[in-house]
Amino acid sequence: MNRYFQSYQLSPNMLTVIQGLRFKQPTEIQHRVIPAALRYENVIGQSQTGTGKTHAYLIPLIDQLNLNEQTTQKMIVAPTRELAMQIFHEVKKMQDHSELEFTSRLVIGGTDKERELQKFQKQPHLIVGTPGRILDFIEENAINPSTVNSVVIDEADLLIDLGLMEEVDQIVSRMYADVQTMVFSATVPKKLQPFLRKYLINPNYIVIDDQENASKLEHRLIPRRHRRAADIIVETSKLIHPYIALIFVNKKEHADDLSKDLLDKGLETGVIHGGLKPRERKRMLNDLRSLKYQYIVATDLAARGIDIPGVSHVFNAEFPQDVDTYIHRVGRTARAGNEGTAVTFYDEKDLPIIEKLEETGIEFHNYDIKKGEWVPVKEWNVRKKREQQENELEKEAWKKVRKPKKVKPGYKKKMKQEKDQIKKQLKREKFRKMNKGRRK
């Protein structure tokens, strides 16, 4: 069904901005959030990165600005500097296309605090920042939270993971009780519930089920077999020819090591993790936007929420530690209707998490690379499946064993022998059925 931005109660100026951004039709989350946000409803938006979430709240927030008042009216809180910088980058693009002038400020750590405080002698209409620095500026009386009428908490599950929700709580508690609060998150963990109950009265709960994109994502498993990750990536890349490959590891030290290995092998490789200095982070984000690198090595915290355009393949060079992290990682490809592939290297220690992922409905395809070609290999859990089948046959056989009316010496041994005979018979019957099915 076709949808149009013109059907919402947006100003002519905002429609001009949208046209300048070359947006044709609203995404599902934009279609559901924009009208609710324009009505000043509280919103809980649950969706993965890449669904158009940022503009779902930026469009109504900016359109609601009262430019006759030079006060801070809108605030967006993000968990990391990188994400805050990315959101602010989108704000600046909207400013460039706007016929009406509004002011905005980026409030993050790693900058000259005194110089930034001086800029707040005149209050900006909109603020994007991280919790610690925003709270710091509020306590310095540089930011007046009482004038804010809409606040967005973005990537709330990551704020929980980083232990930043207490600072967010302190920020929102300084605003008026009727402030419009919109919380966006890929998942809604239990630890987030107290905040939601405290600040969101009668929220509009919007869940975007991204099943269409999920169906276009292929999951491949490759056994590591004591090989270096860089060697497997090089071999795999010769077969899949990625447009942009996002490569995940679990630690920043591992990101640096893998990036160096790939560079040594002649691959154009960038790296992004929490250990980069602010200036390096900013330069790397600009490089990613300009598609300078074909391969990007990243840690989870650094890459969460950042929109890296054109990711055709995701590599898990190290297996993630939990189900949610895997889903966040692979969700960086197969977006906006495109197909994508997630290639994950695994060792025996990773088998429990693979099993949990399969329980969520993810279907893995098991491959290795031999002599420059994809070769199907046995499923990771083939031994376990065999053991399960044996156990099922064992149970079925015991059910058919006749129990003696009178217990005589050696009866247990006789019952076991009978069970073994029945089990062999069941195996033969199963084998015949399988072969009969194949002949058909």
- pLDDT, tens digit, 9 for 90 and up, residues 166-177: 999 999 999 999
> What pLDDT, on the 0 to 100 scale, is given for residue 280?
87
- Does residue 97 lie within any of the structural domains? yes
Strands (E), 143-258: 150-153, 180-185, 204-207, 217-223, 245-248
Question: Which residues make Cβ contacts (< 8 Å) with residue 406, sequence separation at least 6?
Answer: none
Specify the pLDDT at position 242: 93
Model pLDDT for residues 118-134, shown as the tens digit of each residue:
889 899 999 999 999 99
- Stretch 190-213: mean pLDDT, rounded? 85
Assess contact for 143 and 159: CB atoms under 8 A. Answer: no
**Looking at the structure, do residues 46 and 101 belong to the same domain, yes or no?**
yes
Asked whether residue 437 carries a pLDDT value surpassing 70, the answer given is no
**pLDDT level of residue 229 (50, 70, 90 thresholds):** very high
Say whether pLDDT at 58 is over 90: yes
Mean pLDDT of 61-81: 96
Residue 389: predicted pLDDT = 62
Q: Is the pLDDT of residue 79 over 80?
A: yes
End-to-end CA distance of the chain: 43
Q: Supply the pLDDT for residue 438.
A: 47
Residue 342 lies in a domain: yes
Mean pLDDT (whole number) for 134-161: 95
Whether residue 398 lies inside any domain: the answer is yes
Asked whether residue 291 is domain-assigned, the answer is yes
Domain boundary among 207, 232, 250: 207
Whether residue 23 lies inside any domain: the answer is: yes
Using DSSP's 3-state secondary structure scheme, residue 147 falls into helix
Stretch 158-162: mean pLDDT:
89
381 falls within a domain: no
* Confidence at 382, pLDDT banded by 50, 70, 90: low
The residue from 184, 207, 230 where one domain ends is 207
Q: Tell which of 181, 207, 233 closes a domain.
A: 207
> The domain spanning residue 165 has which CATH number?
3.40.50.300
One domain, residues 85 and 113: yes
pLDDT at 290: 86
Q: Output phi, psi for 61, to 5 deg.
A: -60, -50
| Whether residue 372 sits in one domain with residue 229 | yes
- Per-residue pLDDT, 19: 96
pLDDT reading at 439 higher than 60: no
DSSP state of 402: P
| Range in 263-267, 313-317, 429-433 with the lowest mean pLDDT | 429-433
Q: Which residue has the higher pLDDT, 68 or 402?
A: 68
Maximum Cα–Cα distance across the chain: 99
**Residue 404 lies inside a defined structural domain of this protein:** yes
Q: Domain tally for the chain?
A: 3
pLDDT at 210: 57
Both 293 and 401 in one domain: the answer is no
Same-domain status, 253 and 149: no
Say whether both 184 and 76 belong to one domain. yes
Domain that residue 405 falls in: 387-439
- d(CA 319, CA 189) in angstroms, rounded, equals 22
223 three-state secondary structure: strand
Give Cβ neighbours of residue 348 (< 8 Å, ≥ 6 apart). none
Assign 216 to helix, strand or coil: coil
Q: Looking at the structure, do residues 119 and 14 belong to the same domain, yes or no?
A: yes
Q: Which of 62-66, 349-353, 403-407, 430-434 has the highest mean pLDDT?
A: 62-66
Q: pLDDT at position 277, please?
A: 84
Same domain, 258 and 372: yes
Q: Are residues 56 and 132 in the same domain?
A: yes
Is it the case that residue 57 has pLDDT exceeding 50? Answer: yes
> 244, 214, 250, 220: which is closest to 232 by C-alpha?
220
Q: Are residues 224 and 75 in the same domain?
A: no
Q: What is the 3-state secondary structure (H, E, C) of 42-92?
A: CEEEECCCCCCHHHHHHHHHHHCCCCCCCCCCEEEECCCHHHHHHHHHHHH
In whole angstroms, give the CA distance from residue 416 to residue 296.
59
- What is the reported pLDDT for 285? 83
The helix or strand, by DSSP H or E, that contains position 433, with its residue range, turns out to be: helix 411-439
Residue 219: band (very low, low, confident or very high) from pLDDT cuts 50, 70, 90: very high
Q: What is the mean pLDDT of the chain?
A: 88
pLDDT for position 381: 55
Share of the chain above pLDDT 70, in %: 91
3-state secondary structure of 436: helix
pLDDT confidence of 51, banded at 50, 70, 90?
A: confident
Higher pLDDT, 198 or 48: 198
Residue pLDDT, tens place only, 275-334: 888 788 888 888 888 889 999 999 987 677 677 878 899 999 999 988 888 988 888 887
d(CA 314, CA 414): 57
In a domain, 382, yes or no: no
Looking at residues 22-49, what average pLDDT do you find?
92
**Is 2 strand, coil or helix?**
coil
Per-residue pLDDT band for 337 (boundaries 50, 70, 90) equals low
Same domain for 182 and 311, yes or no, is no
Q: What pLDDT does residue 380 have?
A: 56
Are both 332 and 228 inside the same structural domain? yes
- Asked if residue 166 lies in contact with residue 8, where contact means CB atoms within 8 angstroms, the answer is no
